[in-house]
Chain A
C-alpha cells in the first residue's frame, strides 16, 4: 500500500468506527452486525470467519469487547495507525455525547420529576442487568468446577469485601491450574 492509499484506508477506518460508535446502543455484541456491514460486506477487508476469531479473542483479552474488536480489525487492515484510527473513531462519539449530556444531567438532577423517574429507572436497570447475567450464565460451561469458581468469586466479594482485582487474578490462576491437572490426568488415562 502506498502512502496515499494508506491515508485513505485509515480515514475510512476512522469514519466507519465513528459511525459504529455513534449509532450502536449497548456496545459489545450489538456492534458486530454493524462491523460486518462496514468492513466485511462494503469493503471486503476481512471475512466472516475473521469476525468470529475477533469475537473469540475480544472475549479472552481484558477490556471492552467493542474496543478490542476495533483495535484488532484496524491493526489487521492497516497496522498500528489503522488500530489507532479505528479505536479513536469508536471512542470519540461517546466522549462528546456524554460530556454534553453530563451538563444537562447536572441541571435537571435536583428536579422532583427527574428524581421520581430515576427511582423507576433504577428498578428497570436491575432487571436489565439480571437479564444480562442470565444470558452470560447460559453461555458459561456447566460443570462443577465452573459452579465452584462462580460461587467463590461471588462470596468473597459480597461477604469478605475482597478487592475485585485479586479475585480476577485468583480465578484466572485457579482456571489455569485446574485445566493443566485435567489435561495431565487425561494423558495418564490414555497411556
Chain B
C-alpha cells in the first residue's frame, strides 16, 4: 500500500538523519530511486524549488514526493513520517534533558556522526555532479559538448557567488536565466 510505504520510508529517513537539511539528501536519493518515485534529476530540480519556497527542506521534499506518488493523502503520510521520529525523540529528550546533555554516550556517537554526515553529503554531491555534467553517460565525448561547457560555466559562476554569501534564491534565479540563455544558444549552434 502506497500510503504505508510512504509513511514508513520517510519515518526511516527522519529517524536516521543527523544534521538536518542536506544531510537528508543521500537518503532521499537512495530511497526514491529504490521505490522508483522520482529520478535523480527530479530530486535535484526539487532541491531548487525547496530553496525558493519557505519551510524546512525535509518537510518540503517529503510533501512533494508524497503528493507526486499518492496525492494529498500521500503528502500527509510522507510528511507525518518525516516529522514523527523528531517529535517522539525530542519529547523523550526534553524529559531527560540534563541526563542527555551530559551523556558521554550521546557525545561519543556524535564524534562519529558529524564527519559521517559530511561524507554522506559528499556522495550526494557526486550524484548531483553526474546529473549536471553527464546527463546521459560519463564519457570523454560529452566533455566536448556545448551542454557540458555551459553547465561548467554556470556552476563556476554560481560557486563564486555563493562563496561571497549571495542569497540562495538569487543563485537559483540567476542560474535559471543563464540556463535559458544557454539553451537558446545551444539551439542556434
- In angstroms, how far is the closest chain A Cβ from the Cβ of B167? 8
Does A101 count as interface, using CB distance less than 8 angstroms? yes
- B145 part of interface (Cβ distance < 8 Å): no
Any chain A CB within 8 A of the CB of B2? no
Q: Could you tell me the dominant secondary structure of chain B's interface residues?
A: helix
- For the complex, is A46 an interface residue (Cβ under 8 Å from B)? no
> Taking each of B26, B107, B108, B183, which has the highest tally of chain A beta carbons within 10 Å of its own beta carbon?
B108
B85:A83 contact, CB within 8 angstroms: no
Interface size class of A (residues with CB under 8 A): 35 or more
Smallest CB gap from A158: residue in B: B123
Residues of B within 8 Å of A172, CB to CB, are: 109, 112-113, 116
How does the 8 Å CB contact mask read for B66-108 relative to A, with 1 for contact and 0 for none?
0110001001100100110111011101100100110011111
Cross-chain contact A164 with B158 (CB below 8 angstroms): no
With a CB–CB cut-off of 8 A, which chain A residues contact B79? 91, 94-95
Q: Are B85 and A62 in contact (CB under 8 A)?
A: yes
In the complex, besides A119-B179, A120-B182, 12 extra interface pairs with C-beta distance below 8 angstroms are: A21-B56, A25-B52, A60-B107, A62-B15, A67-B58, A102-B68, A122-B44, A124-B154, A153-B120, A158-B123, A165-B12, A172-B116
Contact of A129 among B55, B68, B114, B128 (CB under 8 A): B128
Whether the Cβ atoms of A26 and B86 lie closer than 8 Å is no
**Is the CB of A8 closer than 8 A to any CB of chain B?**
no
B45, B100, B106, B147, most chain A CB atoms within 10 A:
B45
- Most A CB contacts (10 A, CB to CB) among B49, B90, B91, B152 go to B90
A146 on the B face (CB < 8 A): yes
Which of B's residues lie within 8 Å of A, judged by CB?
12, 14-22, 24-27, 30, 41, 44-45, 47-60, 63-64, 67-68, 72, 75-76, 79, 82-83, 85-87, 89-91, 93-94, 97, 100-101, 104-126, 128-129, 131-132, 147, 151-152, 154-155, 158-159, 161-163, 168-169, 171-172, 174-180, 182-184
- In the complex, the chain A residue whose C-beta lies closest to that of B153 is A123
Instruction: Assess whether A158 is in contact with B20, with CB atoms less than 8 Å apart.
Output: no
In the complex, chain A residues whose CB is within 8 Å of the CB of B14: 62-64
With A71-B87, A124-B154, A173-B112 as given contacts, are A25 and B54 in contact (CB-CB < 8 Å)? yes
